[in-house]
């Protein structure tokens, strides 16, 4: 599975961006699909996830209520709508999928098998 992330850019605090992640194969029914981010000098951290078949979603506490993850099965594409962006959201954002993840490992980057190349989001104050 190849993933292609896009949509990053420079935005002022309070603004919005929508990230996209196109998958090369049908993954929605068999994969956990997630978004992670990595700020300069920090470890990669969980942002959002949707389980196989879209049964459940989860968000990091820092983005809950501001970010929304969605999927378009027909396009094999997932999205991350980011609203009310803050300077602390500045990071490289990665999409990822996993065949083997389970609910208890959903937050762990090591549980994910396939990764996009990352797209940079910069939020200015």
How far out from the chain centre does Cα 86 lie?
Answer: 17
Judged against a pLDDT cut of 90, whether residue 6 lies above it is answered with yes
| Chain segment 28-66, per-residue pLDDT in tens | 888 999 999 999 999 999 999 999 888 899 999 999 999
Q: What is the pLDDT of residue 9?
A: 98
CA distances for 94 relative to 3, 5, 48, 118, 125, angstroms: 9, 7, 11, 4, 23
């Amino acid at each position: 599975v190849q993933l292609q992330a896009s949509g990053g850019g420079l935005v002022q605090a309070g603004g919005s961006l929508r990230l996209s992640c196109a998958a090369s194969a049908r993954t929605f029914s068999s994969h956990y699909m997630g978004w992670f981010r990595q700020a300069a000098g920090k470890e990669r951290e969980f942002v959002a996830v949707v389980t196989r078949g879209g049964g459940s979603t989860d968000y990091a506490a820092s983005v809950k209520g501001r970010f929304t993850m969605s999927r378009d099965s027909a396009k094999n594409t997932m999205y991350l709508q980011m609203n009310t962006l803050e300077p602390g959201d500045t990071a490289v954002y990665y999409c990822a999928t996993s065949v083997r993840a389970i609910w208890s490992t959903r937050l762990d980057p090591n549980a994910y098998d396939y990764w996009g190349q990352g797209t940079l989001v910069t939020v200015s104050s």
